[in-house]
Amino acid sequence: MTYRRILFILLAVGLAAAAYVAARRVHHEAQARYVEIVMDDADFSSLARSYGYDQSAFLRALKRAGLTSLAVAEELGSGVSSSGSGAVYAGTTLLAQSRLGPLGDPVLARLARSGGLRPDEVYLIAYDAPTAARYRTQLGLKFAPRTVRVLRATLPAIFAVRTQSDYFAAVGLGLSAERVDLAQRLGLDLVPRLQNDERFDAAQIDALVGTATHGARARTLIFFGLRNQVLGYPASLDAAALMFRRTKLNFGDIETYDPKQIQAGTDDLARKIPGRIVRVQAISKIEQDKLAPRDIIERYLLGVRERNIRVIYLRPFAHQWDTGKGPLSIEATNVELVHRIADGVRRDGYRLGGASPIYPFVVQPWLVVLVSLAVPAMLLLLLDTLGIGDPRWALAAVAIAIALVVAGYLVHHDFLARQVLALVAGILFPVAGVATIAPLFARPRARSLRETVGRGLIALGEATGVALAGALVVIGLLSTPLTMVEVDRFAGVKLLLLVPPLAALALYLLTPLWSARVEDPVAAARAPVRIDALALGLIIIGGAYVLQARSGNQSDIAPSSFELALRAHLTSILSVRPRFKEFLIGFPALMLVPALRASDLRAVGWLLVLAIGMGLGDVVDTFSHLHTPLAISVLRIVNGAVLGAVVGTIAIAVYRRLRPVR
């Protein structure tokens, strides 16, 4: 008894420390309440010009609807001639034209006559003073001084740049002053979109950002470019991080589920500036073209509510929307879309404005050590329940857990050590939750429906409570500002869905706890296999594969249209959709255990244990997606438990109808 008491004390200490970390995390989540709604300027300008809309009036309407910011990207060399404020010509093109006839510009014509036009140069023309000043500054940043000549300083200014045309086409030439002025005039925040140059040093990074944000109200930087790199990659990330800390700008980390689309250097830069990261959600033009406006709205609101998205990056919707009162114009469609997104953001308790990051907080090593005590405590309690245990093991297990944490900090891989402990906890606690229902397998069947449902609810509460304790340990070990914005990720998430049910089944078959122990495993393995048992086994293996493939936000197997519709309805009704593995499989199986006859329990007990292990493992998995706010995960479990209790009650009633009490 003293041994178990010590283990419960260790468990309580670990859970209390984890609860403290969880409380701190909730506090910081509550502080990050500002959401930025951004419109992509290039796509907006293109759509407005295509349909002849007044851009200023259009943006004013969008701002009244809730738009907070305009994302203005650097002008690329390839876009100069279409900007209206400049032009660019390859030297080979001007030479060819000069051979056919005189060039109109006197400076270029004089160069052609004197042989000064070079085929290895690009000639850049600026028609107004702001553009000329911008080109002069940006060419000084992007090219060596000896490769740039100012052929005429007065308007229209002409610059000769010794480079290749295809290279110049991809060079960033700064933000258009006209577009920046438009955002300022309308009271919109600026979101500069800047392109990296791998040759940049600290001075060039500071100059680039300084020229982009000078005089503008900016909170967030988002990077772009053909190479898809963050500013400073690969050699100047420290300089980029210093710039973010000094300017107090946010780094817009674009959410993507395809590793090939992640901007190079994202994680390395983010780890240098915890507390300056905001998650950005965007929908590509190709995908958006296939979606209905309501789907777009719901996807963005889901991201804000469930994935800590703080920048909603919009592209204009190029179709009319029939809201039930007749089709809206494309302009009105976009205004209504922004209006509904903004209303949804406010309805969920957030505010519109400059995106607010998760401010940094530190979980001290001693606190991690205390949380880690819960892991060996639960392991030894589970072993003791199985009749295996020795008081000396407690000291050894605690020492191993502490040593793992300390070693992780000493070699600067503390997050890896914490992940190992979190994975062990995520497996142990669901298995222990399954073990709590073992006495029900030997208990006489209840006589009344009310008593049966009551026992089922108690089993549901006890087993889920143990699994939630494991989720709390995972939260205590892995909650950091970087996991909350999904820079650091829990590598063992998929194992939490597969290992707990298999471990629970192994304990069911190999230990006497459930009174279903296989006394001679070798003989059982050599026994003939029935066709129906083989078919069921194959179905279970196939289900396990589908379970793994379907896990994650972007699964390998797409859900059916029926499932998508069901998900949408559940989200609409409950705000936070519960997981099918919990309320349709694990929780009803828990409630069915006290309802079944002894003979039926012996026949399908192993299957129930698998289902329960899956459901309880999914409870921990729910909280292992650390970028999801804790309040959302709690509400998801509550909704799942309520629905699971309803489904379980229906299953009990149907079973009792088919198998009445004798």
Lowest mean pLDDT among 73-77, 202-206, 396-400, 560-564: 560-564
User: pLDDT tens for residues 213-241?
Assistant: 987 899 999 999 888 999 999 999 999 99
CA-CA distance, 60 to 335, in Å (whole number)?
Answer: 10
Weakest-pLDDT range from 146-155, 350-359, 537-546, 604-613: 537-546
Cβ-contact 477, 595 below 8 angstroms: no
Tens of pLDDT, residues 482-494: 999 999 999 888 8
How many C-beta atoms lie closer than 10 Å to residue 133's C-beta? 15
Beta strands (DSSP E) in 454-584 are: none
SS3 279: strand
DSSP label at 323?
-
Q: Are 398 and 376 in contact (CB under 8 A)?
A: yes
In this structure, what token pair is assigned to residue 379?
């392991």
* Choice among 263-272, 374-383, 503-512 with the minimum mean pLDDT: 503-512
Per-residue pLDDT band for 600 (boundaries 50, 70, 90) equals confident
Pairwise CA distance, residues 53 & 47, whole Å? 8
Model confidence at 446: pLDDT above 90: no
**Which pLDDT band holds residue 537 (cuts at 50, 70, 90)?**
low
Query: For residues 189 and 548, which has the higher predicted lDDT (pLDDT)?
Result: 189
- Sign of the CA dihedral with 299 first, then 337, 288, and 185 last: negative
Greater model confidence, 123 or 537: 123
pLDDT of residue 310: 97
Q: What is the pLDDT, as a whole number, of residue 1?
A: 61
Give the model confidence (pLDDT) of 256-307 as tens digits: 877 888 999 999 999 999 999 999 999 999 999 999 999 999 999 999 999 9
Q: What is the C-alpha to C-alpha distance for residues 39 and 316, in angstroms, rounded to an integer? A: 7
**pLDDT band per the 50, 70, 90 thresholds, residue 534:** very low
What is residue 395's predicted lDDT score, i.e. its pLDDT? 84
Mean pLDDT of 354-372: 93
Residue type, 633: S
Residue ranges of the domains in the chain?
2-26+360-658, 33-74+175-352, 79-169
β-bridge partners, 218: 190
**Whether the predicted pLDDT of 524 surpasses 50:** no
Find out whether 107 and 124 touch, Cβ atoms under 8 Å.
Answer: no
For 39-77, write each residue's pLDDT tens digit: 999 999 999 999 999 999 999 999 999 999 999 999 999
* Residue 217: DSSP 8-state: -
Output the pLDDT for position 65: 98
Query: What is the domain class of 33-74+175-352 according to CATH?
Result: alpha beta
pTM listed for this prediction: 0.91
- Mention every residue, 6+ apart, whose C-beta is less than 8 A from residue 500: 426, 427, 430, 431, 434, 613, 614, 616, 617, 620
Helix (H) or strand (E) holding 609: helix 598-624
Greatest Cα pair distance in the chain: 111
**Residue 529 pLDDT class (50, 70, 90 cuts):** very low
| Overall average pLDDT of the 164-171 stretch | 94
| Helices 365-372 and 414-435, axial angle in degrees (round to 10) | 30
Nearest to 194 by CA among 178, 206, 182, 181: 206
Backbone angles phi, psi at 15, to 5 degrees: -70, -35
Residues 21-30 have pLDDT tens digits of: 999 999 999 9
